[in-house]
C-alpha cells in the first residue's frame, strides 16, 4: 500500500485507530522528553514525583508519601534514600511517633523543584505545542477524568497525608 498522511507522520494508519495505543505512545514520548530534562538535575521521574508531593503536603511520613503517590514501600525507601543522599530531603524524628520519621524538603530540594518546574513547563510546551489553549484544557480535563476513574491511580485506602 502507498504511504498515507499518518504513515508520513511516523504512525501506521492501523495504529492511529487505537486510542489506547496513542495514549500509551504519547506517554512514552512525554516521559522520555521530561526524563531527559530531569537528568540534568540528577533526578529520575520517581524522585521528581516524590519531591513534588512532599513539597505540596509538607512534612509527612514515608508511609504516607508512598500512599499519596502509589509507590510500594521498597521503592519508596530507595527513592527517599536517593533524595536524601543528594541533600534534597531529610528524615527527622516524627514529633509524635518515636517509630517514624517525618520527611522534609531541604533548601537544596526547593531549589531543585524551582528548576525542575521550569523544565516541566518546557516539556509541557514541547509536548502540547500543536494544541491551542482550549484544546490543552480539554485534554487535561479528559485525562483527569480517566485517571480519577482508575482505582489503581487513587490514593491507597486508609493512607492520609497529614503534615507533621
Pairing of strands 60-61, 89-93: unpaired
Stated pTM of the model:
0.79
Residues 6+ apart with CB under 8 A from 57: 64, 65, 68, 161, 163
Band of residue 51 on the pLDDT scale cut at 50, 70, 90: very high
Band of residue 43 on the pLDDT scale cut at 50, 70, 90: very high
Edge to edge, the sheet with strand 89-93 lists 60-61, 101-105, 89-93
The answer to whether the beta carbons of residues 139 and 98 sit under 8 Å apart is no
Measured CA to CA, the distance from residue 3 to residue 8 in angstroms comes to 7
| All domains in the chain, ordered by first residue | 42-152 (1.10.10.10)
CA separation, residue 150 to residues 75, 94, 154, 157 (Å):
22, 32, 7, 14
Report pLDDT digits (tens) over 107-154.
Answer: 999 999 999 999 999 999 999 999 999 999 999 999 999 988 988 776
The answer to whether the beta carbons of residues 46 and 71 sit under 8 Å apart is yes
Cell of residue 57, nine digits: 503536603
The answer to whether the beta carbons of residues 33 and 25 sit under 8 Å apart is no
Cell of residue 33, nine digits: 522528553
Amino acid at each position: 500500500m502507498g504511504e498515507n498522511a499518518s504513515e508520513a507522520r511516523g504512525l501506521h494508519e492501523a495504529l492511529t485507530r487505537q486510542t489506547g495505543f496513542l495514549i500509551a505512545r504519547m506517554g512514552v514520548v512525554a516521559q522520555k522528553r521530561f526524563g531527559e530534562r530531569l537528568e540534568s538535575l540528577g533526578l529520575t521521574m520517581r524522585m521528581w514525583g516524590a519531591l513534588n508531593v512532599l513539597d505540596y503536603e509538607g512534612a509527612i511520613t514515608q508511609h504516607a508519601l508512598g500512599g499519596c503517590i502509589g509507590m510500594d514501600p521498597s521503592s519508596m525507601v530507595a527513592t527517599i534514600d536517593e533524595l536524601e543522599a543528594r541533600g534534597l530531603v531529610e528524615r527527622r524524628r516524627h514529633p509524635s511517633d518515636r517509630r517514624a520519621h517525618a520527611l522534609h524538603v531541604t533548601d537544596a530540594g526547593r531549589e531543585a523543584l524551582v528548576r525542575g518546574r521550569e523544565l516541566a513547563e518546557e516539556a509541557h510546551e514541547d509536548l502540547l505545542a500543536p494544541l491551542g489553549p482550549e484544546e490543552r484544557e480539554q485534554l487535561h480535563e479528559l485525562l483527569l477524568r480517566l485517571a480519577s476513574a482508575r482505582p489503581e491511580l487513587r490514593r491507597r485506602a486508609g493512607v492520609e497525608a497529614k503534615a507533621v
